[in-house]
Amino acid sequence: MTSTSVKMIHSLYEAGGEGSPSNPVKFKGQDYKQLKETLLKEGRTFEDKTFPANLDSLGKLEDFSAEQLREVEWLSPHDLCSDPSFVVDGTSRFDFKQGDVGNCWFLSSIGALTLRKSLMVQVVPPDQSFKNDYAGIFHFKFWRFGKWVDVVIDDLLPTRNKVPVSVSSRSGKEFWAPLLEKAYAKVCGSYGDMIAGNPPEAFKDFSGGVHMSYTLSKSPPDLWDVMNRAIQCGTMMGCGTFGGDKGKGIFKKFGLVEGHAFAVTGAKQVKSRGEKVNLVRIWNPWGEKEWNGDWSDKSALWTTVSADNRDQCLKMRNDGDFWMKMKDFCVYYQEMDICCDSPNFVDGDAACQWKCSLKEGRWEAGKSAGGSASRADGFWTNPQYRLTVKAVEGDYQGDRNVLLSLLQKPDEEYRSKVKYHAMGFIIYKVPSGAPRGRLSSSLLQGEQPLKVSEFSESRELIEFHSLELGEYLIIPCTYDANKSASFIITIYSKAEAQME
């Protein structure tokens, strides 16, 4: 089972076209190759005027006083280390740790990304250096709303007393992670605009893949199998603890952090005292502060497993990495997110080659934003998509064979200012003999929708459905009418299907 089991049959870009992985869109029009060639020719180092080294790029940092903000100095890694490196001996989650900016959701996602080496080199181009052809310019690639973009930055990092205010190198001399964070801060608008979020957002921007979220208190009975399939597929996995007052005393007792994002980095079944025990490995982006309950680094339970398992799993160091029992994981963590190129990990259908169809659209107030009230005349002004399920593989017994994703594309440049509309989609079965093109309300008058999704004020809504052979009308809509926003609708299908 691999993460390549999804076939892109429609997309916003053709292979090699603008926005493809090999030909990303130049963010803010900056061409990395041309800029670097000019800098080397002129003997200059890069200073990014589109993301300058000032308080505007730092943004609103609530935990910093005005005096502390005034003390921030933007320094190059050459000012922080006598011999800085971009990467030393490969990339790993142990290369960095979180600083004073509350973006654990993003940094835990980087930790998960480091386990996907092929994707890592796509996001973090490895042919960058502080030694050969150094010009103070670096670049990183993100998937942003249907297209890959190449983001150029200079290497000036915000510091106080020569200590980075945000993510820092654990060794003090490896800087790929602080620079990656700066590139994403530029995309978000500022470092302050990165505060607060959920791992699926970063997972999406690292891959363009599909994600599934699980509420662990209501987890499916096969969650352990799902996690193992996900690991085999080469997915990115994250999790988060409860926020607010729930469990504060328990978290403190067991060394966890409330309202915090972590990476899920492994799963292993061991035999202890004659019984099989399912263990989950988790990483805290702080680079410290670990679980101290059963199966923690100092737990006596490790003496009950084989020497091989103990050598493979147990690392007695304060690096943020720890193991815990699956049952404890589902008690102390609120949710888990899994992101992959393909939904194969959900049901274990390794032979399935998912097809993916992706389209851009927009709701425009007064024109094409009719809201969700299907009985209202305005509802039929919403965008419409016809989906034809042409085949169903295998013995179809109502298995979920279609996954729908609706992703809002904000008009606002600064991430912290984005407000997502409550959105969802309504699905009708198209009557036989219906004309091509848009369908009118009169044609489906009296017909009950086949499916009505939940409506969510979120960046992306994902739902699985079971659809038999036939033709369907999918209407993405905002809950309230006259809400303007762009969106991307993506359909993954197990067998042949066509969207138009």
CA 425 – CA 460 distance, rounded (Å): 12
The residue annotated as part of the active site, out of 103, 284, 344, 382, is: 284
Catalytic position from the list 103, 104, 188, 382? 104
Catalytic-role residue among 198, 211, 239, 260 = 260
Pick from 226, 98, 78: nearest CA to 156 = 78
Strand partners, 426: 452, 475
Question: How far is it, in rounded angstroms, from Cα 325 to Cα 269?
Answer: 10
- Burial of 89 by CB count in 10 Å (0-12 exposed, 13-18 middle, 19+ buried)? exposed
Collect all residues with Cβ–Cβ distance below 8 Å to 86 and sequence separation of at least 6.
128, 129, 130, 138, 174, 175, 176, 179
Alpha carbon distance 413, 464 (integer Å): 31
d(CA 46, CA 413): 24
Whole-angstrom distance, CA of residue 313 vs CA of residue 440: 61
Query: Known catalytic residue: 104?
Result: yes
Residue 233 is among the residues annotated as catalytic for this protein:
no
Instruction: Tell me whether residue 284 is one of the annotated catalytic residues.
Output: yes
Rounded Cα distance between 227 and 457, Å, is 27
DSSP one-letter code for 345: H
> What is the SS3 assignment for 199?
helix
- Annotated catalytic sites, by residue? 104, 260, 284
